[in-house]
Every structure is written in structure tokens, then in C-alpha cells.
Amino acid sequence: MSGGRASSPALRVPPSGSPIQNANAQRGVASDTDMYENADADSPLMGVPAPTPRTGQRIRARAVAATFFIFWATFLTYLERQGFSVSVTEMARVSGVDENVKASILGAFFWGYTLMQIPGGALANRLGNSRALTFTFLALAVVNLLQPGELTGAVSVSTLIGCRVLIGVAQGALFPAIHAVLADLIPSESRSTLVSVASSGMFAGSAVALSVSPLVVQHAGSRVLFLAIAAMAGLWVCMWHVWSERVRGGPGGTEGMSSAPGSIPWKGLMFKKAGAACTVGNCAFSYVSIFMMNYLPSFCEKKLGTSLAGMGPIAPLAPFLAMFFCTIGGGWLASSLIQRWNPNARGVETSTVGAVKKARQAVNGAGFLLAAVGSVAMALSSDLATGLVSMCLTLGALGLSRGGWAVSHIDVAGRDGLAGVLMAVANTVAAAAGVVATSFTGAVLSASTSGEGGGAAAAGVGGGWSLVLGVNAVVCVIGAVLYHWWVEGGAVDFFRLGVTGSSASLSNSLSGSVGAVERGAGERRDREDLPLSPPVDWGGDHRE
């Protein structure tokens, strides 16, 4: 088809098929195939082949494969981050450096990470998300080969800080690229679950790091741990390169592997409420989770009176296993709530976009409020049993919240190929929050220790741990409230600052052609009534 229609054809009701076809048939809407064949000249579907069972199978296979690769990418990323926090804790103990030096080393990563979020996201947008991921893991491998395994003086401290900055810089494009890939490769009906599974690798990596890293560091040294991570990162690069090139070069090469639109509405992404909701959720999550990942070894040692190695191989796993399973559970819960509140399935008087919004609010709010309770419980804990339960509650609840805010980037910005860029904007603030959390915690604990004689009780009960954990609880409550106020359940036009609310979901690019059919038939429809189903690659090669 080379142009738009002169007149609207009669509506045809499709036979039973996909959930979207069935839902459309119930409302007298054209089938998926009709919507593609009858697309207006200005519709995003113009020239896009209609889905077929075979291309649908290919889409599902790519979605599962992308989920697998992103899971292992996030697994390795957090295995490295959490493993390093374990390593630097042991190196600091052996060399006798104080909490301020340790905080400087831990915070160095986040300075590089923060400064490169937006430039890294823009670079990934231009060069392609596949290449951005390849570069990130190549850098992870190379820098881990160079990192010193001991703090023997000012030179080694400076070298280690420099290495952490470099890793932060390299990972600046990581999560923007991941979100762009997921936005293009995962259909909306699988979005909550598969995005949550993909991101749960972060917490599986953290759990393994907390269990294995103390033993490796204790018996073989930090240097061996760094070399093992370098080898795994190099293996991931090889596997990812083969798969991504095969997908991009095969029939129906996918957009998710290449660059996104060149025009980026920075003001809209930063200042519209839907974008701000993603930023607030990301920021609150990062502040508390980065504190937990960097200071969990110190919390166990100084507040609970036991080291991670002394807890055995199982106990350190528990908090991050809770986070791992609750992350997947949060995605499943969000999907279940969307289906329950979907008017097509249950007859509830609300639009599908409204169902998504309510589900995100519910899951996000439950997660952050429970995390606030867990933070207070951590402050009150005085033994290993209560401390472990409170850590599991805090991190598990944070994982649950990801079924809300962590998928919203794709909900509101995926239609225009901006999910990765919005993630870069949100992650810039979130990474800055990580720097604040690390620096603030180090300063408070250092002051508490020196002010009360340096004992474990002084660092814990005597104000230090109670203060930092109380701040964590407040941050969680703020994240729950502001996200609830600002979140949207469908795609937002970030190019127009004057437009508020949802301008339909990623799938509501479908509504452009369906709306034209209905306008021709004299029917009025709210664009938000259409089910969420993005026009992901149906087999045509739409972009270089």
C-alpha cells in the first residue's frame, strides 16, 4: 500500500484467535490484519506487514531469548557490583583504612555511572543498543583484569578508585540499552512478567555474590574474584555478539538491536509527570538498594556482630533470593491485576490503560511501603535472626516494587522508541541518589564510630544505623506517594509539553488506524479503550 484510504471499509469481525482479536471482535473493531491492511498514511502501521502465526512464533522466541540474555547480563553486572563491595570490605579490614576511604572507593563507581547516564543513553540511541551492551561488557572484562586486589597504599587506592570510575562510565549505557531492547522485543501482554524476569538477574547475581564472594576472597583473594568476573563477562560478550548479529541480519531484523529515533524530547522526558513518576520510583529504589548492596556486609559485621563468611553459605543468600523471587512475583502480580481489572476480561468500567495504571500503583505502593517497614525493622534488630528477617523483608519488598515503576518506562515511552532514553534520564537521578546514599552512610557511620569510641554498639544503636535506616524508610514512603500521583498506564506524548495524561499505550499506535475506521463509521471511541499491544517487529526490516 502506498497511500491512505479514500473511504473507510466495512468492519469485519475476525474468528477466534489472539486475545486482542477476541477483544476487538467483542466491540465490533476490525481485526489485527484489517488494522494493518487499512492503515492510514500517517499511521505508524503504514507499510508494516500484518502478523501471521509464524511471525508471532518468531516474536515470542526472540522475546524469550532476549529475556535470557538480559537476565544473564544483569546477573553478571550485580555479581560484579556486590562482589566488589564484599572484596573492598575485606581489603579495607586488612589494610586498616577507615569508612570514609571505603565510601570514596564505593562511591567512585556511581560518579562515573551518574555522569554517563544521559550521554550513554544518547550514544546507545545513535550507535545501537546491541553495540552498547557489547561495549559495556568488554569494558567490564578489561577493567576487572586491571583492578588491584589489595590496598597497599595511596597508589593502589587511587588505582582502584580510577577503575571503579571507568566501570561506572562503561555501564552508563547499560540499562538504557536494556530497556530499549526489551521495549522492542517483548510484546505488551508479556511485558510485566518478562521484564521482571530479565531484571531479576540483578538480585540473583547479588545473592550469589554474597554467598560465594566471601569464600573466594577469604581463601583465594580479591584478585581471583576479579579475574573470574572478567572471564564470565568475556564469555557473555561472545554469546551476545553471535545472537544479536544473527537476529539483526536475519529475516525481520529487529529495531531493538539498532538505534532509535534521532529526535529526543529531553524536556518532556524530564518534566512531564509520567516521566517524573519513573524517575521517582527509580530514585527511591536505587537509594535504598544501593545502601543495602554496599553496606550489607558492614551491617552484618558491626550491627549484628557476625561477618558474611561467619554466616555460612546459605544465610547471606536469603535477602537477595527474597528480592529475586519477589521481583518475578511483582511482575506476575502486576500482570494478574491488569487482567483482573481489564474490562474486556471482567467487565470492569475502566479502560485497559486505566487497568495498567491501577496495577502499577498497587504493586509499587505495596512494595515501597513494605520496604519502609523493613528498614525500620532493620534499625531495631539486634541479633542475626531478626536482622536476617528484616533484610529479607526490605529487599523482597523492593523487588516487588519493580512490578510497578520498573515497567513504566516501557509503558509510557516505548511507543516512540524512547524507553531507553527515559531510563537514562531516570537512572541519572537514581545513580546520583546512590552516590548520596553511599556518601551519607559512610559519613554518618564514621562520625558515630569516632564519636562513641569506635565500638560496634556505637556504630549501630548509638545513632548511626538507626539514622541511615530511618532515612531509607522515609525515602520509600516518598517514592510510593509521588509515583502514585504521577504514574500513567499508557504511552505519553513527550514531544508536546502541553499535553497531559496518557495518549494511549504503545499498542495504541494501533488506534490510529482503528480510529480512522470508526470515524468513517460515525462511531466515537476513547483511544484508551484499545488493549495494550505494541507494534513490535512482525517480520519486516523497518530500520537499518
Residue 522 pLDDT greater than 80, yes or no: no
Task: Provide the pLDDT confidence category of residue 53 given band limits of 50, 70 and 90.
Answer: low
Alpha helices by DSSP H, listed for 341-455, are 343-346, 352-380, 384-401, 405-413, 419-451
CA distances from 68 to 22, 211, 238, 325, 523 (A): 30, 23, 15, 16, 44
Q: What is the pLDDT of residue 6?
A: 39
Q: Is residue 193 part of a domain?
A: yes
Longest dimension (CA), the chain: 84
Predicted confidence (pLDDT) per residue in 94-129, tens digit: 877 777 788 888 888 878 887 888 887 777 777 777
Predicted confidence (pLDDT) per residue in 212-234, tens digit: 888 888 888 888 999 999 999 99
Residue 150 structural domain: 53-486
Residue 368 pLDDT greater than 90, yes or no: yes
CA distances from 12 to 17, 24, 31, 527 (A): 14, 10, 7, 19
Q: What is the pLDDT of residue 54?
A: 60
Predicted structure pTM score: 0.68
Residue 361 pLDDT greater than 90, yes or no: yes
Instruction: Quote the mean pLDDT of the chain.
Output: 75
C-alpha–C-alpha distance, residues 433 and 422, integer Å:
17
Q: Is residue 38 part of a domain?
A: no
C-alpha–C-alpha distance, residues 447 and 444, integer Å:
5
Cell numbers given for 525:
471511541
Q: What is the pLDDT of residue 55?
A: 63
Task: Provide the pLDDT confidence category of residue 398 given band limits of 50, 70 and 90.
Answer: very high
Higher-scoring residue by pLDDT: 477, 41:
477
Query: What sign results for the dihedral spanned by CA atoms 255, 331, 427, 85?
Result: negative
Q: What is the pLDDT of residue 498?
A: 58
Predicted confidence (pLDDT) per residue in 420-476, tens digit: 888 888 988 888 888 889 888 888 888 876 654 444 444 444 468 889 999 999 999
Predicted confidence (pLDDT) per residue in 128-169, tens digit: 778 888 888 898 899 888 888 777 767 678 888 999 999 888
Q: What is the pLDDT of residue 248?
A: 66
DSSP labels for 353-381?
Answer: HHHHHHHHHHHHHHHHHHHHHHHHHHHH-
Q: Is residue 400 part of a domain?
A: yes
Task: Provide the pLDDT confidence category of residue 202 given band limits of 50, 70 and 90.
Answer: confident
Give the CATH number for residue 209.
1.20.1250.20
Predicted confidence (pLDDT) per residue in 525-540, tens digit: 333 333 333 333 323 3
Q: Is residue 516 part of a domain?
A: no
% pLDDT > 70, the chain: 72
Q: What is the pLDDT of residue 288?
A: 94
Domain count, the chain: 1
Q: Is residue 463 part of a domain?
A: yes
For the ranges 38-42, 302-306, 511-515, which has the lowest average pLDDT?
A: 511-515
Q: Is residue 2 part of a domain?
A: no
Q: What is the pLDDT of residue 257?
A: 52
Torsion-angle region of residue 399: left (phi > 0), alpha (psi -120 to 50) or beta? alpha
Q: Is residue 43 part of a domain?
A: no
Q: Of the spans 8-22, 246-260, 335-349, which averages the highest pLDDT? A: 335-349
Nearest to 176 by CA among 375, 363, 365, 422: 422
Q: Is residue 507 part of a domain?
A: no
Nearest to 83 by CA among 349, 398, 371, 293: 293
Nearest to 85 by CA among 160, 173, 172, 170: 160
